[in-house]
A and B are shown apart, each in its own frame.
Chain A
Amino acid sequence: MVIQLLISTVALLVIINAIGKLRQKTFTMPIFIIWSSLWVAMGIVVWYPNISNIVANILHVGRGTDAILYISLIVIFYLIFRISARLEKLHQDVTKLTRAVAIASPKEKR
């Protein structure tokens, strides 16, 4: 019961936060829908864990919790990959900027 309440509260706070971000135009509508749906789904699954078994049956995985675990792992790995790619791009941009600054002010002995 405690974990259900805890996760539901967190989900609710995240959705309220997402609404705020949508209003401030930090979130676009598609991002808001994906993000909120994820947390709504999480809220539903903690109260009705049997729902996850439906997903498990579709995927031919033993238990609902296993299905959630597998899907989460795939999503997390994908996100890490995306973040790494973005980080690499940022690194390269910083290098380009650094290079431009260095080349703009060469020093020579007079």
Chain B
Amino acid sequence: MNETLSNPALPAPYTSVWVVIPAYNEQRSVREAVQHVQRYIPNVVVVDDCSKDRTSDEALEGGAHVLRHPINRGQGAALRTGMDYALAKGADVIVHFDADGQMQPEQIPHMVKPVAVGDVDIALGSRFLVDVSNIPPLRRIILKGGIVFTRIISGLNLTDTHNGFRVMNRYAAQKICIVQDRYSHASEILDEIAKHKLRYIEIPVTVTYSDEAMAAARERGQNSFNAIKIAFRVIWGKLLS
């Protein structure tokens, strides 16, 4: 409960950890997500990607710093906005977290630690290092496809390539360039890790696929078949770059 920044496990130079939460139409869950995260990390910035509901107000009530995109630009763009803000605030460590309640805030300190002590530049959450029985079968197949795709495109050997739970140090946050605005940013981040030879580690995390969270994801236009669109965008982005 009180495993906050004062936790002696986190060394003195890394006194500034910021959690970036991109949010789009998350009024139902964002306040709770912010409050849960703040039990562990007090600095939270929510980037409201031009939601049509009360996401900004709810995040503000929850106690987060709130940035609002005047135009919807996608999750990748929102993450980069939050990262730029956190870096300007002097963040030494940045955490990517979701607003939909699927991730477990109590796992943040475990994710932060290897980055904070300087063992790695970036820690990536993996759903496949723990029991995967809670992941819906279709989602599991698509995610496995993503792993193969990433191995071909980036050359990284990971067990989970599209997990939004990440922790990175300031150096990595400055190096990683996200130009893909929509969901293809996950592949792009992995590309950047390979390109800049960032030191990384995968850490087991649990993702809860509650009916409510899955319904909210569908409302936001996420579905398993987006994977094909994402793969196309990644390849197309490489051709255009």
Contact = CB atoms under 8 A, between A and B. Distances in A.
Given A85-B240, A88-B240, 15 more contacts: A92-B181, A95-B73, A98-B69, A98-B70, A98-B71, A99-B80, A99-B84, A101-B69, A102-B67, A102-B70, A102-B81, A103-B88, A106-B85, A107-B56, A109-B63
A105 B66 CA distance: 9
Interface size class of B (residues with CB under 8 A): 20 to 34
Interface size class of A (residues with CB under 8 A): 10 to 19
B65 A102 contact: no
B193 interface: no
B225 interface: no
Contact of A103 (B71, B84, B239, B240): B84
Contacts of B80: 95, 99
Contact of B61 (A84, A91, A98, A109): A109
A40 to B, nearest CB: 33
A15 B60 CA distance: 59
Given A102-B47, A103-B67, A109 B77 contact: no
Contacts of A109: 60-61, 63
6 contacts: A81-B239, A91-B181, A99-B84, A102-B70, A103-B84, A105-B67
Interface string A9-26: 000000000000000000
Contacts of B88: 103
A105 to B, nearest CB: 8
A105 B63 CA distance: 16
A103 B85 contact: yes
Given A84-B240, A85-B240, A98 B73 contact: yes
B9 interface: no
Nearest to B181: A95
Nearest to A91: B181
A106 B73 contact: no
A102 B179 contact: no
Contacts of A91: 181
B77 A99 contact: yes
Interface string B72-88: 01000100110011001
B234 to A, nearest CB: 13
Interface of A: 81, 84-85, 88, 91-92, 94-95, 98-99, 101-103, 105-109
A109 B67 CA distance: 12
Contact of A107 (B65, B71, B239): B65
B36 interface: no
A85 B80 CA distance: 21
A86 to B, nearest CB: 10
A94, A105, A107: residue with the most chain B Cβ atoms closer than 10 Å: A107
Which 4 residue pairs of A and B lie closest in terms of their CB atoms, listed nearest first? Answer: A102-B67, A107-B66, A99-B81, A95-B77
B113 interface: no
A67 to B, nearest CB: 27
B54 interface: no
Contacts of B60: 107-109
Given A91-B181, A95-B73, A109-B61, A103 B81 contact: yes
Contacts of A105: 67-68
Contact of B65 (A85, A101, A106): A106
A106 B77 contact: no
